[in-house]
Structure 1
Amino acid sequence: MQIAERTVASFNYTLTNDAGEVLDSSSGREPLTYLHGGGNIVTGLEKAMTGKKVGDKFNVDVTPEEGYGVHNPGLVQVVPRDAFRGVNDLQAGMQFRAESDNGPMSVVITKIDGDKVTVDGNHPLAGATLHFAIEITEVREASVEEVLHGHVHGAGGHHH
């Protein structure tokens, strides 16, 4: 069976950056399982998975436009330190939920300069080309419930 709309696929992966550094991997864990066509993985990877079958091994490079997006400078802001009331020890790398005009979003502190704190609302991999090494381990038909809910249920997926 080939990966197509309304199938559930499981795969092992290693994700590296342009320098070849491993950013994420399923090594030592269960394969990642997703509903194809459900928007559960980045667009470029999902496109590359179409038509693959169990046992297929391949590499795919996903551009920022089909990955986590291009880096948006408008999502980087300098805010006053007192915006973080109740947090005495601010450090670069800390993550927070912030309210924006478009609703809640995650931000990361990237710099602290006295009373000025720079936060970035971009995904950490925004602007990066994603290099995946993939091995397909399972492909099956999705259940009606999985298709209706837009994600995998049961082992390797979502549990209600």
Structure 2
Amino acid sequence: MKVSKDKVITLEFKVYDSKTNELLEDTKDVGPFFYIHGEGQFVPKVEETLEGKEKGFSTTIMLSPEEGYGDYDEDLIEKMDKKDFVEFDDIYEGMEFIADMDDGSEQQYVITSIDDDVVTADGNHPFAGKTLRFEVEVAGVREATPEELEHGHVHFHGFDDDCE
């Protein structure tokens, strides 16, 4: 089966900062990545490269910041009051959270420092501003179920039974 729109793709990959050769992410450590192809759920250049390929295909893809996760944006660094985090049992550097924005959208942040009552959080993707080298392998291709297409994400047996 070929990689094409509305197929569930299973990927194994390693992502490196191409300038420093630092390994940034390895699916061998966290498990494979699953997405519905053609739905904008993964990096567009990677999806374009994989279009029409089959299980077992592997390649290396270079991504500029513009093709990957964008330029690093200093405006996405926020200083917040620690009291805004009362709903969390614990907050710590490296903690990820999603904030509701004034325009109704959501923004993911990572806490980068806590200084007394001031929490500094970064809304940039960890790979923002980096030129990346993706070493990717297609580990699986299957038809998406009607429910997955309706819900817009991959379901895992036993985990998404209550998904609405």
**TM-score (norm. length: structure 1):** 0.75
Give the superposition deviation at 1:81: 5.9
1:6-25 matched pairs, under 5 angstroms: 6-18=6-18, 19-25=20-26
Give the superposition deviation at 1:32: 2.2
How many residue pairs get aligned? The number is 158
**Aligned residues with identical type, % of pairs:** 38
* Residue among 127, 136, 144 paired with 1:134: 136
**Structure 1 stretches lacking a partner, 5+ long:** none
**Structure 2 stretches lacking a partner, 5+ long:** none
What SS is found at the alignment partner of 1:139?
Answer: strand
Give the superposition deviation at 1:4: 0.9
Give the superposition deviation at 1:80: 5.5
Give the superposition deviation at 1:49: 1.4
**TM-score (norm. length: structure 2):** 0.73
* Pair 1:75–1:147, CA change in 2 (3 A): same
What SS is found at the alignment partner of 1:127?
Answer: coil
Is residue 44–residue 63 contact of structure 1 (8 Å, CA) maintained in 2? Answer: no
Deviations 1:92-122 (A, max 9, x none): 5444544432344333343566776543222
Is 1:46 matched with 2:47?
A: yes
**Worse-matched range after superposition: 65-74 or 92-101:** 92-101
Is residue 12–residue 135 contact of structure 1 (8 Å, CA) maintained in 2? Answer: yes
* Pair 1:58–1:79, CA change in 2 (3 A): same
Q: Which has the larger radius of gyration?
A: 1
1:72-151 matched pairs, under 5 angstroms: 72-79=73-80, 92-103=93-104, 104-111=106-113, 117-151=119-153
**Worse-matched range after superposition: 4-13 or 67-76:** 67-76
Cα RMSD after superposing both structures? 3.1
Give the superposition deviation at 1:84: 5.6
Give the superposition deviation at 1:51: 1.6
* Pair 1:80–1:20, CA change in 2 (3 A): same
**Worse-matched range after superposition: 18-27 or 139-148:** 139-148
Is residue 81–residue 116 contact of structure 1 (8 Å, CA) maintained in 2? Answer: yes
Amino acid at match of 2:53: K
How far apart, CA to CA, are the structure 1 residues paired with 2:97 and 2:137?
35
What SS is found at the alignment partner of 1:65?
Answer: coil
Give the superposition deviation at 1:58: 0.4
Moved over 6 A (4+): none
Deviations 1:52-84 (A, max 9, x none): 111211011223223222222221234566666
